Amino acid sequence: MEDIGCNCAKCAVVEKICRLEKGRGPSWCPTKKGESALTEAMERYDDPEIKEFARTASVQEGSCYALREARPFVMIPTKSRMEELIEFSQRMGYKKLGLAFCGGLTHEAAVLSEILEKHGFEVISVSCKVGGIPKERIGVKDEEKICIGEFESMCNPIAQAKILNQAGTDFNVMLGLCIGHDSLFLKFINGLTTVFAVKDRVTGHNPLAALYTSRSYYQRLMKMEFGSPGEMKSLLVSDENP
Ligand code: SF4
């Protein structure tokens, strides 16, 4: 296999060295090459807090399958992410959870908050629109707004993070933040954070739907290129236009 640098997504080895004790990997396999990042990462797991968090995450992962002792083993997943979030937070002994949500998912945030509270957690929730600051404050022009000509408050992920930092949350949950706003939240939040759902306006917040259908109804992702935003050009080479 050609040396393409680290690209596990394109690894075609069936019995992978990173999954099996006696597996194999391509020449550029980071496991085979013993990348320094691996050593450095393992040193970080020696921090007791990180080790306990990582251990609990793996224990939680294992608990999400039924009949684990049966052979041949067949994966039988049993828990939704909602159940996982509750269980993982309980295992970690968390009491106060932060919820950074998108204003477009206010209803979902209320339900999520209610469920977490029913399971004994204190929830501090902050909408992305907190502060009500107009988008013009960060240089957005009127014609760049969602609804041109109207007042629009900016998404404020830095304020969301700072409010949750001040509240001293044990663990944080992101719900539906937009691309980029989620990045800023993660940059400014102090505590560890998990994602309950990401924003996808078209697929009911399930971006994988576009991948699952990329050979059928979303084949434009494979066959068209995005020019300027909103403009797509065909990647297909026709006889008339080689
Ligand atoms: S770590 Fe190696 S074996 Fe595993 S997916 Fe990446 S390239 Fe393949």
Question: What backbone torsions phi and psi does residue 227 show, to the nearest 5 degrees?
Answer: -90, -120
Instruction: For ligand 1, atom 5, name the residue with the nearest CA.
Output: 8
Mean per-residue pLDDT of the chain: 94
String of DSSP letters for 120-181: T-EEEEEETTTT--BGGGGT--GGGSSSTTS--BPP-HHHHHHHHHHHT-SEEEEESPPTTH
Which helix H or strand E contains 232, and what residues bound it?
Answer: strand 232-234
The pLDDT, as a whole number, for residue 3 is 64
The pLDDT, as a whole number, for residue 219 is 94
b/e per residue 83-95 (b: at least 16 CB within 10 A) = ebbbbbbeebebe
- Integer CA distances (angstroms), 177 to 73, 91, 220, in order: 37, 26, 25
Question: What backbone torsions phi and psi does residue 64 show, to the nearest 5 degrees?
Answer: -85, 5
Hey, what are 79's tokens?
């828990």
Pocket test for ligand 1, best of 6, 10, 29, 33 (most atoms within 8 A of CB): 29
CA of 8 to the centre of ligand 1 (A): 5
Pocket test for ligand 1, best of 13, 19, 20 (most atoms within 8 A of CB): 13
All domains in the chain, ordered by first residue:
34-78 (no CATH), 79-199 (3.40.50.1860)
The pLDDT, as a whole number, for residue 225 is 83
Question: Is residue 125 a contact partner of residue 99, using CB atoms and an 8 Å limit?
Answer: yes
Q: What confidence tier does 41 reach under pLDDT thresholds 50, 70, 90?
A: very high
Peptide bond into 242 cis (omega under 30): no
The pLDDT, as a whole number, for residue 34 is 85
Question: Mind listing the pLDDT tens digit for each residue in 68-81?
Answer: 999 999 999 999 99
237 vs 125, higher pLDDT: 125
The pLDDT, as a whole number, for residue 45 is 98
Using the atom order of ligand 1, give the atom closest to the CA of residue 6: 7
Instruction: For ligand 1, atom 2, name the residue with the nearest CA.
Output: 29
Q: What confidence tier does 227 reach under pLDDT thresholds 50, 70, 90?
A: confident
Q: What confidence tier does 240 reach under pLDDT thresholds 50, 70, 90?
A: low
Question: Mind listing the pLDDT tens digit for each residue in 141-195?
Answer: 999 999 999 999 999 999 999 999 999 999 999 999 999 999 999 999 999 999 9
Pocket lined around ligand 1, Cβ cut-off 6 Å? 8, 11, 13, 16-18, 25-26, 29-31
Hey, what are 242's tokens?
């080689």
Q: Evaluate if residue 241 carries a pLDDT over 80.
A: no
Say how far apart CA 206 and CA 189 lie, in whole Å.
24
Using the atom order of ligand 1, give the atom closest to the CA of residue 18: 4
CA of 46 to the centre of ligand 1 (A): 24
- Integer CA distances (angstroms), 138 to 106, 141, 144, 199, 238, in order: 24, 9, 12, 21, 44
0.85 surpassed by pTM: yes
Instruction: For ligand 1, atom 4, name the residue with the nearest CA.
Output: 18
CA of 16 to the centre of ligand 1 (A): 6
CA of 68 to the centre of ligand 1 (A): 25
